[in-house]
Structure 1
Amino acid sequence: MTSQVRGVQLARLLGQWHALPGRRRSPDYAALAAAVRGLLADGRLPLAVRLPAERELAEALKISRTTVTAAYRELRESGHLASRRGAGSWTMLPGTHRVASTGLWTPLDDRDMIDLGVAALAAPAQLVPAARAAAEDLPRYLGGAGYHPTGIIELREAVARSYTARGLPTSPEQIMVTSGTQHALDLVLRLTLAPGGGVLVESPTYPNALAALAARRARITTHGLAADGAGWDADLLLGSIRQTRPKLAYLIPEFQNPTGHLMPTELRERLVGVAHAAGTDLVVDESFVDLPLDGTALPPPTATFDRHSRVISIGGMSKPYWGGLRIGWVRASAPQVQRLAAARVGVDMASPVLDQLVAVHLLADAPAIVAARQAQLTAQRDALIDALADRLPDWRVAVPRGGVTLWAELDGPISSALARAAEEVGVRLAPGPRFGLDGTLERFLRLPFTLPAADLVEAVGRLAAVRYDLDRTGRSQWREPSVIA
């Protein structure tokens, strides 16, 4: 069944669509059409969703039906809306778009784009030797069927050793290998969350986690994170769990995506205790745990304080190693791992053996690979911060002690407008509202420092020009947007 957005819902997403910078000379219908395209561009309005009837949207926006009719007509002409008489209108994309490796719908001619929408590094030099060594190991597995629902034993042992080295004794029976961290989260949600169950998440948080929760029709409540280095307000976070008693809480305690915050030890311990008392399971995303910068000491894993199997940890190879190596894992109790393996049968059976063998060899070389990543990220982070201070001094940025992203507070609620305008000058952004619910976070922007320093400095220069143009130009120039699929 096709999903539908109601008039009041779309009006809430559109926000102050008529007051965007640079919009004064554009007709109302053109501004409305552009704002709908913008919602498609940053993923707040999905594809194949039926829009409200013209009269319903006009009433919700308190504008004339003629304006809505003209806006819908422009969206049809640009290829962003398909309509059938008597059946309604659905969001779509023009035929000149493709799905990029990031999961975004992007124009076909984007080769010169500086992509700041992706917080991931290129592959390390050690990947090719690891792949060759894995191919040599592969014959040992060719005599069997190749299905290992919890993962090959070598990789499970390697991941278990990494947890033990962090002070959390772990056996291979507590590890399940998955096809990436997102796959790990999906499996955990299938096991632990019934459709419509309550979930607490941070705000802002990882957009693909929100997408996974939406697919489970979760009832989401949020805990707001401070924009500066303070991060979590312990009393508010713990109070939210006590009051709402969600079935699940999804948290990123190590260099939180997108803010870069690091949860202190005391809060981790209190969090586990409060979650147990409230009957809440904690899903702890450790995607960035291998990337502390500036010699930052890591607190103990959150699961260290777990005595009742309330904490399920997920992680993977994407951030410290390479996103193209689709290897993730779940750390849980041995019985939970067995239940996850049973749930997996209806999804993908098992992860590729060859990829797992590559991961084994990379983890064996982890000290050298991770040290090089940390040095690279430190230099790129500092270059980005210096460029922002020079070209956009009114933006506020808290320096993260790890991870791969800055969370910038802008000088106005312009994140979506800036992202749309930046496409014109060859910079792709992830605007703040992608990391929250219902169009909030327009004053914020995630800026990853995973690209070479020269690209980051160039991108900031282009953004500075666009930022000042937003205040000067009479009308925004629209191009085909990049859209979350």
Structure 2
Amino acid sequence: MTGQVRGVQLARLLGQWHALPGRRRSPDYAALAGAVRGLLADGRLPLGVRLPAERELAEALRISRTTVTAAYRHLRETGHLASRRGAGSWTMLPGNHRVASTGLWTPLDDRDMIDLGAAAPAAPPQLLAAARAAAEDLPRYLGGAGYHPTGIIELREAVADGYTARGLPTSADQIMVTSGTQHALDLVLRLALAPGGSVLVESPTYPNALAALAGRRARITTHGLAADADGWEPDLLLGSLRQTRPKLAYLIPEFQNPTGHLMPAALRERVVAAAHAVGTDLVIDESFVDLPLDGTELPPPVGVYDRHSRVISIGGMSKAYWGGLRIGWVRASAPQVQRLAAVRVGVDMASPVLDQLVAVHLLAEADAIVADRRVELVAQRDALLGALAHRLPDWRVTVPRGGVTLWAELDGPVSSALARAAEEVGVRLAPGPRFGLDGTLERFLRLPFTLPAADLVEAVGRIAAVRYDLDRTGRQRWREPAVIA
């Protein structure tokens, strides 16, 4: 069990569950049960969490307890809830489901699903040759124990060289290799954030970052991003730092996930100065830094403006290379890296040596691999944009200058309902509320362009069909009252 959700918290997550299009005039208890299943399906409600008592939820939603009782009973019948008299009810994984690659649960028979929930591409063709070369390099490591808490020296040097080439001089002592970017974030939070500490994040932001912060019981404040190309409003962002004085701020300045915004150089410098003035450490997620598109020129790394070891950068190889290669890293001061390594020993000891050797060979061919990836992403992005313009012209989409996702503003607050309907026709979506707090962002949807163009066009066609059905089935039909003479 991971904890308990209170009635008011669940009510905020559910939002306008009773007024969502596509209810097909189902009873209130069925609509409520469906909304709870939707929260479970897209990760906003974890497995193993204790739901509020029936009376408490009924009061929070201002509905009858009978409706909540029936909804809970329906969830037990479908395998989404386990109850024990006198102890409560907990969310659970239905027996006919499994945990998917996104970390969310999914039906066992979803092998033909077009998955737009994960924003990560397939492996590059160079991976197989890199794996063979890594296996040939492995014997020189076999005489030792194989534990390298900060990473093997070849990989740390390669990553450090990448930062230096971007204008941020870096030594291998400033790099710690991790098992992916999410692992890097988790270790940084363990070191730098006490349970209950305050954190500033963008809204929307990366869902797994919110999950990591929730695991630390962080007190989260948000800076809302504009939907247009500008993204951050400088005075508001700097004002949030000065007013809330958070212990940490988690920001994604390169092709922000999910909006695709790129933070300008002038704002990067001002953010670092403001963070130093109020005593805030900046955790800068550079997951998409390798993927500028259409010739976009990148500003200097945020760390360029850091003179007081306030900036901790995290990155990895999931987006430009392959998510199955669990290689990430932290760039910080050398003393911070050593403290992170000490924290790590109590978590997972070290990353696999063979995977690190594969990464070394891939980074040696980075120019060719990343160039091919950019060409591929531009073609897929343009195919997705074309399909949206043709099938869903009322949706507003700002063309990103890099990264792998579109942030679409829908023609109504139907993101969660649309995601549930799309699942029925073989398309998995990440609805807007996954990227925020307390059920907001229902007018938005993240659409990655990491799948083949044909799959993206097919997915948009299916989404458009169910979007039309939501309107058609959700509209009330009013009749003239019968005259009784």
Same fold (TM over 0.5): yes
One-letter amino acid of the counterpart of residue 167, structure 1: G
- Tell me which residue corresponds to 2:204: 204
Q: Distance in 2 between matches of 1:62 and 1:195?
A: 33
Which sits farther off after the overlay, 43-52 or 222-231? 43-52
Task: Return the offset for 1:14.
Answer: 1.2
- Tell me which residue corresponds to 1:137: 137
One-letter amino acid of the counterpart of residue 220, structure 1: I
- Tell me which residue corresponds to 1:480: none
- Tell me which residue corresponds to 2:331: 331
- Tell me which residue corresponds to 1:289: 289
Q: Distance in 2 between matches of 1:216 and 1:7?
A: 22
Cα displacement string for residues 428-447 of structure 1 (whole angstroms, at most 9, x for unaligned residues): 00000000000000000000
- Tell me which residue corresponds to 2:82: 82
Cα displacement string for residues 353-374 of structure 1 (whole angstroms, at most 9, x for unaligned residues): 1100000000000000000000
Task: Return the offset for 1:22.
Answer: 2.4
- Tell me which residue corresponds to 1:441: 441
Listed as ranges, the matches of 1:183-262 within 5 Å are 183-262=183-262
Q: Distance in 1 between matches of 2:226 and 2:474?
A: 35
Task: Return the offset for 1:9.
Answer: 1.5
Task: Return the offset for 1:23.
Answer: 2.0
**2:399 is equivalent to residue 399 of structure 1:** yes
- Tell me which residue corresponds to 1:305: 305
- Tell me which residue corresponds to 1:159: 159
CA contact (8 A) 2:41 2:106 kept: no
- Tell me which residue corresponds to 2:112: 112
Cα displacement string for residues 193-219 of structure 1 (whole angstroms, at most 9, x for unaligned residues): 000000000000000000110001100
* Secondary structure of residue in 2 paired with 1:418: helix
Q: Distance in 2 between matches of 1:465 and 1:17?
A: 22
Task: Return the offset for 1:2.
Answer: 5.4
One-letter amino acid of the counterpart of residue 470, structure 1: L
One-letter amino acid of the counterpart of residue 35, structure 1: A
* Secondary structure of residue in 1 paired with 2:374: helix
Cα displacement string for residues 260-298 of structure 1 (whole angstroms, at most 9, x for unaligned residues): 000000000000000000100000000000000000000
Q: Distance in 2 between matches of 1:463 and 1:380?
A: 17
Task: Return the offset for 1:101.
Answer: 2.0
- Tell me which residue corresponds to 1:317: 317
CA contact (8 A) 2:427 2:462 kept: yes
Task: Return the offset for 1:306.
Answer: 0.2
Which sits farther off after the overlay, 4-13 or 340-349? 4-13
- Tell me which residue corresponds to 2:128: 128
Listed as ranges, the matches of 1:15-164 within 5 Å are 15-23=15-23, 25-164=25-164
* Secondary structure of residue in 1 paired with 2:50: coil
Task: Return the offset for 1:93.
Answer: 2.2
Q: Distance in 1 between matches of 2:303 and 2:36?
A: 43
TM-score, scaled to structure 2: 0.97
One-letter amino acid of the counterpart of residue 196, structure 2: G
* Secondary structure of residue in 2 paired with 1:297: coil
* Secondary structure of residue in 2 paired with 1:329: strand
Q: Distance in 2 between matches of 1:348 and 1:89?
A: 33
Which sits farther off after the overlay, 365-374 or 44-53? 44-53
- Tell me which residue corresponds to 2:173: 173
Give me the identity figure in percent: 89
One-letter amino acid of the counterpart of residue 359, structure 2: A
Q: Distance in 2 between matches of 1:53 and 1:356?
A: 48
Q: Distance in 2 between matches of 1:192 and 1:474?
A: 48
Which sits farther off after the overlay, 388-397 or 24-33? 24-33
Task: Return the offset for 1:39.
Answer: 1.2
One-letter amino acid of the counterpart of residue 283, structure 2: V
One-letter amino acid of the counterpart of residue 277, structure 1: A
One-letter amino acid of the counterpart of residue 255, structure 1: F
Q: Distance in 2 between matches of 1:48 and 1:326?
A: 26
Q: Distance in 2 between matches of 1:9 and 1:212?
A: 18
**2:450 is equivalent to residue 456 of structure 1:** no
- Tell me which residue corresponds to 1:367: 367
Q: Distance in 2 between matches of 1:59 and 1:343?
A: 44
- Tell me which residue corresponds to 1:426: 426
Matched length? 475
Unaligned runs of 5+ in 2: 476-485
Q: Distance in 2 between matches of 1:22 and 1:320?
A: 38
**2:469 is equivalent to residue 469 of structure 1:** yes
Which sits farther off after the overlay, 260-269 or 3-12? 3-12
CA contact (8 A) 2:42 2:104 kept: no
One-letter amino acid of the counterpart of residue 224, structure 1: G
Q: Distance in 2 between matches of 1:270 and 1:452?
A: 40
* Secondary structure of residue in 1 paired with 2:437: coil
* Secondary structure of residue in 2 paired with 1:473: helix
Task: Return the offset for 1:51.
Answer: 1.3
Task: Return the offset for 1:32.
Answer: 1.1
Q: Distance in 2 between matches of 1:156 and 1:401?
A: 29
Task: Return the offset for 1:41.
Answer: 1.4
* Secondary structure of residue in 1 paired with 2:370: helix
Task: Return the offset for 1:24.
Answer: 5.4
Listed as ranges, the matches of 1:263-274 within 5 Å are 263-274=263-274
CA contact (8 A) 2:53 2:88 kept: yes
One-letter amino acid of the counterpart of residue 121, structure 1: P
Q: Distance in 1 between matches of 2:297 and 2:350?
A: 35
Q: Distance in 2 between matches of 1:161 and 1:24?
A: 58
- Tell me which residue corresponds to 1:380: 380
One-letter amino acid of the counterpart of residue 170, structure 1: T
Cα displacement string for residues 215-235 of structure 1 (whole angstroms, at most 9, x for unaligned residues): 011000000000111100000
One-letter amino acid of the counterpart of residue 426, structure 1: G
Q: RMSD between aligned alpha carbons? A: 1.0
TM-score, scaled to structure 1: 0.97
One-letter amino acid of the counterpart of residue 96, structure 2: T
- Tell me which residue corresponds to 1:344: 344
CA contact (8 A) 2:114 2:428 kept: yes
- Tell me which residue corresponds to 1:482: none
- Tell me which residue corresponds to 2:479: none
Which sits farther off after the overlay, 32-41 or 212-221? 32-41
Q: Distance in 2 between matches of 1:17 and 1:245?
A: 35
Q: Distance in 2 between matches of 1:58 and 1:146?
A: 55
CA contact (8 A) 2:22 2:417 kept: no
One-letter amino acid of the counterpart of residue 383, structure 1: A
CA contact (8 A) 2:292 2:403 kept: yes
One-letter amino acid of the counterpart of residue 468, structure 1: Y
